[in-house]
Structure 1
Amino acid sequence: MKPAAQSEALEQASVKQYCKAVRVPVIGANFIGLSEQAVREKQSHIRYLEALLAMESEERDRHAIENRLREAQLPRLKTLEEFDFAQAPQVPVASIRALAEGGYIERSEPVVLIGECGTGKSHLATGLCVAACRQKRRVRFTTAAALVTELVEAKQNNQVRRVVARWMKYDLIALDEVGYVPVAEMGAEFLFQVIADRAERAALIVTTNLPFSEWTTVFPNPRLCKALLDRITDRAHIIETGTESFRFRRTVEGRKKR
């Protein structure tokens, strides 16, 4: 190897070591290729540096979003782009797109999705969670039953305060399937505690198949039910997804085609 080539190889190895030490692996993997491109295109040193830093930044953003999505514990990765609004004409497209921009999270406003099974409530809630994760917000998706179970178990271990505090750390909580399963009074009280603590302080998405007038069938204590509804609906974006299951309609149409 010629002395010039040997010197260049040593310099490249040194740069890679520095990149490893300061934890910029994308720059370490791409600085040679981009330098050759910069020479061919007669780019300035600053333009070359900008391109390297942009690649590193984009990769870090991608990892941050992936971490947020994992932390959210979404049942399925469904986006708003995948939602078929044509099959759900009652869902207001403009309202959903406005929510996806995240202003309701900044204002700590609830979102309530009301409709029968199969009308897209969970998909919309999941899509809003994905949108929030893309904005690098801390998100957590759960069902009402799972949250109640976690809090009841925490009560048995004298850890309710710690668990409730952990739920407060999220920028957005999506509480799916409220109203599908009756909740005992202790569970309802715990659920109210989480929701009340977040009121006007952090955003909440709730999906339910019950109109508000029927929530007493799930939360038997009328006073607690009223207080729960008061917290959930205050300043809320209430989206009705309809009564006709497009999931069922899609299944029927698929069978007819076969």
Structure 2
Amino acid sequence: MQQQNRDLQWYAKELGLTHLASQMADVMKIADHQGWSLEQTIQTLLEGEYERRLAGRQKARIKTAGFSQIKYLEQLDRNELPEGIKHLLPRLETLDFIHEHRNIVLYGNPGTGKTHVATALAIKACMEGMHVLFTSVPHLITQIKECKSAKTLHQLEGRFKKYDLVVCDEFGYVSCDKEAGELLFNHLSLRADTKSTIITTNLAFDRWGEIIKDKVLVTALVDRLTHNAFLVNMNGVSYRLKETKIFNEQNR
């Protein structure tokens, strides 16, 4: 039995199943003790290998997405969420909006959970095998400009329109000149009605003209992003403000 066990481990290692090989001795002992069939023993070994590889792929997709922070849906205090998202979140977390190629625009004052919700939905998408990109709008504009100058914009566009989900965070914190506004519009238009994008912004739509001065372009951008989209009012009391008040009260 020991010789057979060593032979199985050798074959597993040679086939690149190093983790399975390391687990084989323990699984074989349990199988012998529990009286498992050969099929059940093999299935247990393969399930362990599958789960390990699945976790590795999930971790890789999360890392590649470029999240600024790791936030999960389970970490949300749903009772503290603004009313606009509180009742809609159960529908959004099914991720059907991605399969339906619908956008989400989370708008409202700072500190109300917009980035947390967007990040958590995107991480769940990663966990379910989807390819995701997380970027801030200022960073995206800079990247587009750099690629345009380097004549690699076509390659960037090719990657951008293939993501199952893109999160564009922090629209409204930095003004765009005319060129930046046009580049952003053209870039986001690549995904219109074919893929899903989540936008977080501290500005209501009637204030987007403060960021992009071209009224025609603003109208076109709003129309393109909001078509068949979930528009979620995230106005509310800032989480950070609440935490600061609690901290100050505890330390008086």
Q: TM-score range by the shorter chain?
A: over 0.9
Structure 1 gap segments, 5+ residues each: 1-7
Q: CA deviation at 1:17?
A: 2.5
Question: In structure 1, what is the Cα distance between the partners aligned to 2:228 and 2:178?
Answer: 26
Q: Is the 8 A contact 2:82 2:236 kept in 1?
A: no
Q: Is the 8 A contact 1:88 1:246 kept in 2?
A: no
> Per-residue CA shift, 1:122-170, capped at 9, x if unaligned?
1111111111111011111110000000011111111211111121221
Residue 115, structure 1, aligned to residue 105, structure 2? no
> Per-residue CA shift, 1:51-90, capped at 9, x if unaligned?
1111111111100100011011111111111111222242
Identity of aligned residues (%): 28
Moved more, 60-69 or 77-86: 77-86
Q: CA deviation at 1:224?
A: 1.1
Alignment equivalent of 1:84, drawn from 77, 89, 103 = 77
Q: Is the 8 A contact 1:100 1:132 kept in 2?
A: no
Structure 2 gap segments, 5+ residues each: none
Residue 184, structure 1, aligned to residue 177, structure 2? yes
Q: Is the 8 A contact 1:78 1:126 kept in 2?
A: yes
Aligned to 1:60: 53
Question: In structure 2, what is the Cα distance between the partners aligned to 1:17 and 1:162?
Answer: 44
Check 1:46–1:69 CA distance in 2 against 1; reply closer, same or farther (3 A cut). same
Aligned to 2:62: 69
Aligned to 1:96: 89
Aligned to 1:170: 163
Q: Is the 8 A contact 1:174 1:204 kept in 2?
A: yes
Residue 29, structure 1, aligned to residue 14, structure 2? no
Moved more, 169-178 or 78-87: 78-87
How many residues of Structure 1 are paired with residues of Structure 2 in the alignment? Answer: 251
Normalised to the residue count of structure 1, the TM-score between the two structures is 0.93
Residue 224, structure 1, aligned to residue 199, structure 2? no
Residue 133, structure 1, aligned to residue 149, structure 2? no
Normalised to the residue count of structure 2, the TM-score between the two structures is 0.95
Q: Is the 8 A contact 1:74 1:141 kept in 2?
A: yes
Computed over aligned residues only, the root mean square deviation of the Cα atoms, in angstroms, reads: 1.4
Q: Is the 8 A contact 1:68 1:138 kept in 2?
A: yes
SS in 1 for 2:200: strand
